[in-house]
């Protein structure tokens, strides 16, 4: 596709369940970012992938959060044993290089009930 694609667009899950969020970056983009945004708040960095380098995981809030990027393309963010405070919009972005602008997907709105 032309842009960054995220799925699902909305996810409601019960507290304690695991969820997987998917991001399909723009074709050819080597950098991929995950952020989350709680209602009325700014963007919180989670994790960054650049090519084949080790990912920057410094923003992951706890060991319940993990992310993979397979084949340098699609990425999956997994949240285990979800808590209500995990409710937020999870945004994925990609960029073509280390110093270029990033383009965002429309996000996944996660609600933990």
DSSP β-bridge partners for residue 43: 37
Figure out which of the listed residues 5, 50, 73, 76 binds another protein, where binding follows CB under 8 A: 50
In terms of CB distance, is 14 or 52 closer to another protein?
52
Figure out which of the listed residues 38, 45, 68, 83 binds another protein, where binding follows CB under 8 A: 45
Q: Does 105 bind another protein (CB under 8 A)?
A: yes
Q: Are 55 and 67 in contact (CB under 8 A)?
A: yes
Figure out which of the listed residues 32, 35, 86, 88 binds another protein, where binding follows CB under 8 A: 35
β-pairing, 10-13 with 108-112?
Answer: parallel
């Amino acid at each position: 596709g032309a842009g960054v694609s995220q799925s699902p667009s909305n996810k409601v899950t019960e507290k304690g369940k695991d969820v997987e969020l998917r991001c399909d970056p723009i074709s050819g983009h080597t950098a991929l970012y995950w952020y989350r945004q709680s209602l009325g708040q700014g963007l919180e960095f989670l994790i960054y992938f650049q090519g084949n380098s080790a990912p920057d995981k410094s923003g992951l809030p706890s060991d319940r959060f993990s992310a993979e990027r397979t084949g340098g393309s699609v990425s999956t963010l997994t949240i285990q044993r979800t808590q209500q405070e995990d409710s937020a919009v999870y945004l994925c972005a990609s960029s073509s290089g280390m110093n270029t602008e990033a383009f965002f997907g429309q996000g996944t709105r996660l609600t933990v009930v």
